[in-house]
Structure 1
Amino acid sequence: MNAVTQAELLRSLPPARRYARALTGSQPAGDALVGAALRAGLPEGLSARLALYAGVTKLAPPPAAPPSGAALGARQRQLLLLTALEELSVSEAAQVTGIPTDAAETELEEARAALRSAAAADVLVIEDEPIIAMDVRQLVESCGHRVVGVAATEAQAVRLAASKKPGLILADVNLGAGGDGITAVGRIQQQLKVPVIFVTAYPERLLTAETVEPAFVISKPFEPLALAIATYQAVSSTVPIG
């Protein structure tokens, strides 16, 4: 076990769980991976957060076969998630994955190029703020995906999902007077099994470890690359580990 305090480990568990879920594609598989990393022992010489990331990375299962036209390798996915979603520097991501910084930079350049050729998905956006919805739509389309609907309320989201059958949902948590994005997604997934990315200013509502959590959470404000890698992972994630 790494020479870090229990308090440091506890503070680092939410981001480690988020990263593991994004790697595996589900909450149960991600949490099982974090547990396996803790049992196996964490690497020495790193902070608690980086050590947890490194332990998860070492034990992560290989990704499923990528969609036609996409060619992201396992390490490229890891580096993209670590830098874009977890906001590590390239040098920190290199430490986590155990490669030199210059090699990590090269891998990231190749990964960003591969993202542009990834297979497209039909996306439903759930967002009550019109300007933010326009921005998200533009970003989704710039990633090569198709936006099949934009819902501002819980009821509208359920109706659009039933009629459009999206392959991916991007949902805000707080829909103001229009309801709740978490509830909307729960209702949709009773009828349609579809990957979901929550794009929210309230990630703590989704990282409580008290209820079923989504595999993909992006905090607002976010970078376009974070959305690109999250959408790619969501539509091409691995089969959950047991």
Structure 2
Amino acid sequence: MNAVTQGELLRTLPFARRYARALTGGQARGDALVAQALRAGLPKDVPGPIALFAGVSRLVPDSAGEHITAKQRQLLLLTALEDLSITDAAQAVGLPVGEAKQRLDQAREALLAVTATDIMVIEDEPIIAMDIRQLVESCGHNVVGIATGEAEAVEMARELRPGLILADVNLGPGGDGISAVQRILQEQSTPVIFVTAYPERLLTAERLEPAFIISKPFEPVALAIATYQAVSGGISLD
């Protein structure tokens, strides 16, 4: 099979960073994993567009977690966050399609058993905020507050101490979601998931960037696995 082309690599790189960050639970660990995959050489037994996902995935040993295994986390992230087909995701993690599908179905069922989390939403558009609330609650979580601007978000987080923050990046006249989160994290350690229509703008590895990013619009499964990864802290590579 042909090796990955430079064009395929450049197109995939931002999203491989998102995948690796969500998998490991942090920007630095995720970006280091992508760099390690590139240095090691990408697998030649998969199509070019998914070779980098495969390179990252195959550096992570399968291990049991509290609810799902490392391989199951990979399959969930590849299909829900990166929108790969089960066939492509199976190739990326090095499993037969039938076994990958079985493991993915088991992982989705296991997510339903995860303890609910109190979530604070930062979103300036009322209709979008309502949609996010419905999606969050359909995943079994509890929305404890919705902030529409930066100052309100900081004050609300100080008062509510949520278990997770789900933040839009662009708050219009209300400020900047990333700035709001940076101010919040100076006072408390809370997992954060950013929601944006342009995730590639936050996946350059050129500055401090979020570890968990979901593309708008998103599906409940994508939110569920991102929430699980954020709260559980991702996979340990030690």
| Alignment of structure 1 residues 1-242 onto 2, 5 Å | 3-60=3-60, 65-66=65-66, 71-238=67-234
Alpha-carbon shift at residue 5 of structure 1 (Å): 2.7
After alignment, is 4-13 or 48-57 more displaced? 4-13
Contact 1:72–1:114 under 8 Å retained in 2: yes
Give the aligned residue type for 2:47.
S
Distance 2:192 2:174 in 1: 19
Alpha-carbon shift at residue 65 of structure 1 (Å): 4.5
Distance 1:51 1:187 in 2: 38
Percentage of pairs with the same residue: 66
What is the RMSD computed on CA atoms of the aligned residues? Answer: 1.8
Alpha-carbon shift at residue 64 of structure 1 (Å): 8.3
Alpha-carbon shift at residue 40 of structure 1 (Å): 1.6
SS at match of 1:210: coil
Deviations along 1:36-72, whole A, 9 cap, x unmatched?
1112221103233311111111112667843xxxx21
Alpha-carbon shift at residue 206 of structure 1 (Å): 1.2
Give TM-score, length-normalised by structure 1. 0.92
- Contiguous gaps of at least 5 residues in structure 1: none
Distance 1:155 1:63, change over 3 A: farther
Deviations along 1:5-50, whole A, 9 cap, x unmatched?
3333222211111100010000000011111111222110323331
Deviations along 1:117-164, whole A, 9 cap, x unmatched?
112211110011111111111211221222111101111100011111
Contact 2:62–2:71 under 8 Å retained in 1: no
Contact 2:14–2:200 under 8 Å retained in 1: no
Distance 1:237 1:64, change over 3 A: farther
The total of aligned residue pairs comes to: 237
Contact 1:63–1:237 under 8 Å retained in 2: no
Distance 1:99 1:227 in 2: 25
Distance 2:63 2:127 in 1: 35
Give the aligned residue type for 1:146.
N
Distance 1:160 1:63, change over 3 A: farther
SS at match of 1:59: coil
Contact 2:119–2:162 under 8 Å retained in 1: yes
Distance 1:239 1:115, change over 3 A: closer
Distance 1:240 1:10 in 2: 27
